[in-house]
Homo-oligomer: A and B are copies of this chain.
Amino acid sequence: MPASSRIEQALDRAVALAELGAPPLLAGALRYAVFPGGHRIRPSLCLAVAKACGDPDPEAADGAAAAVELLHCASLIHDDLPCFDDAKLRRGKSSVHVQYGEPIAVLTGDALIVLAFETLARATRANPSRLSPLVFIVARAVGAPHGIVAGQAWESETAVPLTDYQRAKTGALFVGATRAGAAAAGFDPTLWGTLGDKIGEAFQVADDLRDVLCDAQELGKPIGQDAAHHRPNAAALLGIGGAKARLEELVRAAVESIPDCPGADSLRTLIKAQVAQLFPKQLSQAAA
């Protein structure tokens, strides 16, 4: 089964368990927030690493990938709230609080965080020794002090250490994705952090470029948000050509970091292809 189908099916199984018997608005918002998805780049990365490790436990890998994506969706819902970005648009449709109201949006994010951990537990019933490392990896990626929540919280500070901020807000869940993929396959997750870290930074730079270069319709969310919210942006900082060079350097470092494993070659090819999709279409002409 292609990775994309595995991811959608794992997410569907997880959401189905949460929505059955839940208050109707919450149930609707849970599904609305998760489907249809964006690029599913984090769970794809997680599964790609598990596959490179031989994919000995597909159930654990699918659960890890789903957990990572559920947490990503949760962070988008809360980031879009009026007290943060107040974003009306997400993935080409109304954001969750616009569609379902603010109370349901807060609760949907909360429920998805809980569901992520429950999904890990469900996916490791056959190999329960894999649960503990997965919980630690995922918690580190999203919680305090260094996960997504911390990244978002840096935006409330006056003095923001740029690397800490970007590592936490974007990089941490990419690191979580690669490490969770390895842990789900019973491999040493610590060897896989650099891959996630480099791809995460590449993704951040690509996102910064899109925020500057794209229009809102193409992006499916508002543009110019970094400038509007006084957030650091690599394209503004390094120039568009400089940001493009940095992006290429990061992809090289990511590919070189891949540890010895049965499917290292295929993983290298896959990552180059996936990152290429992130380059904004306007980049070649703009950087010329």
Q: Which of B101, B114, B144 contacts A30 (CB 8 A)?
A: B144
- The dominant DSSP class at the A interface is helix
- Residues on B with C-beta less than 8 A from A19 are 144-145
Q: Which of A48-56, A146-154, A212-220, A276-284 contacts B (4 or more CB under 8 A)?
A: A146-154
A114 to chain B, nearest CB (A): 3
Tell me if A113 counts as interface (CB < 8 A to partner B): yes
Nearest neighbor of A115 in chain B, beta-carbon distance: B143
Nearest neighbor of A15 in chain B, beta-carbon distance: B144
Tell me if A35 counts as interface (CB < 8 A to partner B): no
B143 touches A135 (CB 8 A): no
- Residues on B with C-beta less than 8 A from A107 are 78, 149, 152-153
A15 to chain B, nearest CB (A): 9
A23 touches B142 (CB 8 A): no
Tell me if A177 counts as interface (CB < 8 A to partner B): no
Tell me if A83 counts as interface (CB < 8 A to partner B): yes
Given the complex of chains A and B, what is the CA–CA distance between A149 and B146 in angstroms?
25
- Residues on B with C-beta less than 8 A from A115 are 139, 143-144
- Residues on B with C-beta less than 8 A from A26 are 144, 149-150, 153, 156
A22 touches B150 (CB 8 A): yes
A10 to chain B, nearest CB (A): 17
Tell me if A128 counts as interface (CB < 8 A to partner B): yes
Tell me if A204 counts as interface (CB < 8 A to partner B): no
- Residues on B with C-beta less than 8 A from A113 are 110, 113-114
A160 to chain B, nearest CB (A): 8
Nearest neighbor of A161 in chain B, beta-carbon distance: B23
A23 touches B143 (CB 8 A): no
Q: Which of B30, B104, B109, B125 contacts A132 (CB 8 A)?
A: B125
Could you list 10 further interchain pairs (A-B, Cβ under 8 angstroms) beyond the known A22-B144, A83-B102?
A: A17-B145, A22-B145, A22-B146, A23-B156, A25-B153, A83-B101, A109-B110, A121-B136, A128-B128, A128-B132
Q: Which residues of A pack against B, CB within 8 Å?
A: 17-27, 30, 74, 78, 81, 83-84, 101-104, 106-107, 109-111, 113-115, 117-118, 120-122, 124-125, 128-129, 131-132, 135-136, 139-140, 142-147, 149-150, 152-157
